[in-house]
Amino acid sequence: MPTAPGPAAAISGASSVDSGATATFIDASRPPFDVQKRVWTVSGGAITVPQQNSAAFIVQFPGVGCYTVSLTVSFRAQASTY
C-alpha cells in the first residue's frame, strides 16, 4: 500500500517489555524538519524518565499490564496524532 503524501506522526519502539523494564520510544514522524512540537503521554502509572531530547521518550513499566504510549505531533500548519 503506498504511503499518503504529507506529514505523518509515527512512533518507533518496543511493542512489549518485561515488567519493571525500561523502554525507549522515538518520534519517527516525517518529515522531521516539519515537526514543531511533541507531546508524549503514557497510561497506567508507568514512570517517565527525564529526557533532554524531546524526540525520545523513556518509560519504566512498573508492573504487568497493558500500557499505552502516545505521541501528539504538531507540524507546520496542522496537527497529527499517532
pLDDT digits (tens, 9 = 90+) for 30-49: 998 889 999 999 998 899 99
Residue 57 predicted with pLDDT over 70: yes
Question: CB–CB of 35/8 below 8 Å?
Answer: no
Band (pLDDT 50/70/90 cuts) for residue 76 is: confident
Band (pLDDT 50/70/90 cuts) for residue 5 is: confident
Q: What are the strands, taking DSSP E only, across the chain?
A: 11-12, 22-27, 35-42, 47-49, 56-60, 69-75, 78-81
- Structure confidence at residue 81 (pLDDT): 55
Average confidence (pLDDT) over 62-72: 92
